[in-house]
Amino acid sequence: MAHYTLNVEGNILKLFMSISSVFESHKTKGYYMLKPLENRKNIRLTPLQQKIFDTVKNGGEITRDQIEENVRFSPSVLKTLLDKEIIERIEKPFREESAPYVYHYSAPVLSKDQHSVAMSLINHVHEGGYSASVIDGVTGSGKTEVYFEVIAHVLKAGGQVVVLLPEIVLSPQWLERFEQRFGEKPVVWHSDISERMRRKAWLDIAEGKARIIVGARSALFLPYLNLKLIIVDEEHDASYKQEEGVIYQGRDMAVLRAHLAKIPIVLASATPSLETVENCNRGRYKRYVLKNRHGIAVMPKVSLISLKAPQEKRKKQLWISDQLAELISKTTERQEQVLLYLNRRGYAPVTLCRDCGKKIECPRCSVSLVEHRIHEDLRCHHCGYSQSFHAQCLSCGAEDSFVSCGPGVERIAEEVKTRFPSLRSLVIASDHVNAKQGLSGFLDQINQHHVDVIIGTQIMAKGHHFPSLTLVGVIDADLGLSGADLRASERTFQTLQQVSGRAGRAEKPGHVYIQTYFPEHPVMQALSTTDKDQFVEQELMMRSQAQLPPYGRMIAFIFKGLKESSVESAAKRFARCFPVSDQYRFLGPIQAPIYRIRGQFRWRALLMSNRDFPLQKMVQKALESFTLDPSVRMSIDVDPYSFL
Ligand SMILES: [Zn+2]
Ligand SMILES: [Zn+2]
């Protein structure tokens, strides 16, 4: 793994041992036990002393609290027994006793399709050894039930299972479903759990007591005693890619881990990543397709609203088209709910001075500050910097000259309030969610129908289903398409497909309306015809022609530091390690699209080759003879997902 990600071995080791406290000395506690018989004095005991004696005898080694659960006594009685050398007390590391995990398994009713996929996967478990399978199923097709079935199987056979989920904090519904099926909460592992829970989980996993672990990508590095199955749900999700510290792709590491441990891995998604599709095409992964929604629910209809159409010429500062507005009225009149989706936090992404044209930027990063009305400030989404709103432009001194440009979710909420004063609306974005409770409070409000219109960012795109939600309106489908990201189309397609899946998951059919300026774009066409395969094929062909992943390999180099000239010269010096060749292409170095973050200047370079070329080896060689100016840091990103 260190070899693949080009990381120092120590860094990888740190991932495995990330819970330092487990290795620190534990708190100790006093334990009581009987003195060995030959040393024990033979004296008559009072009835109370006898009772304590019996309790300690039965308990083996027990704490004072545990004795007190059986016998009430004053401290002096215990002291007498100690003084008379009948019992003894020793200090031992204290380990919180955990209740045993008891998994009950209530069998679900699976459709014929689900059943046959589950059986195939269970077969892989039976056969033993490494295998990689993909459950490719539309939203609502019951992928989770299918892999639950496989989990149940592994559990019965005594093995451990790890399930990776993106952003586990935000998956209360998943945990609920799990508990319903297995009668027990799984062990949850992510960065927000307390130190105490962390230690307990770590030990329970190492001792094989905890059998099902669900967590973020770091759950991969826990010390499993008997790991028999890995599941990666929403395998296409970009959050599997760790971008800080040790840069790695959680999904790919999971496959590697399964390979090394010689166990099966199951990837699940409604919109598998092109990397995964290509691995299926090459026969490396087995693909199982679930075409239909489970139960009576049908797939939502998807329609495009062209913002180019003359009747939709955008009225000043309005973002909901007339067509969508009418649909909102009709839907809410039927007592059904609406989700308006816009993946942009805050009120407005850009604030301009009307007089001098200057944007308000972060003093530490080369990006615009985003206006957040609920916090009454402007925030940097890259470094967390915030400042209160000044009435005066700092560049030209004009008063009250600022204009907000473009919408964020808060601005859409404002529009809903103005245009539909009688409707109850709710904004859900990560700014509004606290880490502990996650979304549960919001989800309850929606389920109890205290809300008519939900305005949400991508945290609303995932896994939740609401029986009365029948209309999804995508405010700006083009948002993700711009920029130099090679996966822009793929990601837009995946996200919008996922958002669409929120509509009509129960008895009521759903309808999705997508507002776009590019209705003829392949992504929009694929969404509206729900012909996913055609889109995937086209994308793969394009990538293949351009030798981009999954057909080509990429390694990105990011140089950063406070001294602009040193960063630039380091990047340029590094480039010289890669003479022109027809085996690979070295692009750059160039100033990164976001040139400054947290005051540090950034340069980027990109190394590309076809997929069979040993790119890592070459980089390793280059690194041997390259020394970095101490003021500059370089990070190496194998298979980069971010190009900023
Ligand atoms: Zn100005
Ligand atoms: Zn910043």
Asked if 253 contacts 1 with a C-beta cutoff of 8 angstroms, the reply is yes
Rg (CA), the chain: 29
Distance 355 CA to ligand 1 centre (A): 5
Distance 601 CA to ligand 2 centre (A): 12
pLDDT of residue 406: 92
Backbone angles phi, psi at 569, to 5 degrees: -70, -35
pLDDT, average across residues 348-372: 93
Strands laid side by side in the 264-269 sheet: 187-189, 212-215, 160-164, 227-233, 264-269, 131-137, 286-290
- Of 162-171, 253-262, 475-484, where does mean pLDDT reach its minimum? 162-171
Nearest to 339 by CA among 354, 328, 351: 328
Q: Is the pLDDT of residue 96 over 70?
A: no
pLDDT of residue 25: 45
pLDDT, average across residues 521-531: 86
Three-state DSSP class for residue 20: helix
Distance 383 CA to ligand 2 centre (A): 4
pLDDT of residue 435: 59
- Which residue would you say has higher pLDDT here, 20 or 587? 587
Q: Is the pLDDT of residue 126 over 50?
A: yes
Distance 562 CA to ligand 1 centre (A): 28
Ligand nearest to the CA of 380: 2
The fraction of the chain above a pLDDT of 90, given in percent, is: 47
Residue 1 pLDDT class (50, 70, 90 cuts): low
Distance 369 CA to ligand 2 centre (A): 8
Distance 377 CA to ligand 2 centre (A): 14
Distance 386 CA to ligand 2 centre (A): 8
pLDDT of residue 135: 96
Q: Is the pLDDT of residue 607 over 90?
A: yes
Q: Is the pLDDT of residue 171 over 80?
A: no
Burial class (CB in 10 A: 0-12, 13-18, 19+), 203: middle
Strands laid side by side in the 301-306 sheet: 301-306, 511-516, 469-474, 337-341, 453-456, 425-428
Distance 538 CA to ligand 2 centre (A): 37
Q: Is the pLDDT of residue 207 over 50?
A: yes
- Which residue would you say has higher pLDDT here, 239 or 369? 369
Ligand nearest to the CA of 400: 1
pLDDT, average across residues 409-430: 94
Distance 358 CA to ligand 1 centre (A): 6
Q: What domains, with CATH codes, occur in the chain?
A: 28-93 (1.10.10), 112-290 (3.40.50.300), 301-344+407-541 (3.40.50.300), 552-638 (3.30.70.600)
pLDDT of residue 95: 59
Distance 85 CA to ligand 2 centre (A): 67
- Which residue would you say has higher pLDDT here, 461 or 479? 479
- Separation CA 197–CA 275 (nearest Å): 35
Ligand nearest to the CA of 598: 2
pLDDT, average across residues 230-252: 88
- Of 73-82, 164-173, 313-322, where does mean pLDDT reach its minimum? 164-173
- Tell me the pLDDT tens digit for each residue of 136-158: 988 778 899 999 999 999 988 88
Ligand nearest to the CA of 378: 2
Structure-token pair, residue 126: 């039976």
Distance 373 CA to ligand 2 centre (A): 18
Q: Is the pLDDT of residue 502 over 90?
A: no
Ligand nearest to the CA of 382: 2
Q: Which residues surround ligand 2, an ion (CB under 5 A)?
A: 362, 364-365, 380, 382-383, 385
- Give the ipTM of the model, two decimals please: 0.96
pLDDT of residue 608: 94
- Tell me the pLDDT tens digit for each residue of 8-32: 555 655 665 554 445 444 566 788 8
- Tell me the pLDDT tens digit for each residue of 385-398: 999 988 888 889 89
pLDDT of residue 606: 94
- Which residue would you say has higher pLDDT here, 187 or 90? 187
459-483 b/e (C-beta count within 10 Å ≥ 16 → b):
bbbbbbbbbbbbbbbbbbbbbbbee
Three-state DSSP class for residue 418: helix
Distance 388 CA to ligand 2 centre (A): 14
Distance 361 CA to ligand 1 centre (A): 12
Ligand nearest to the CA of 369: 2
Distance 347 CA to ligand 1 centre (A): 20
Ligand nearest to the CA of 386: 2
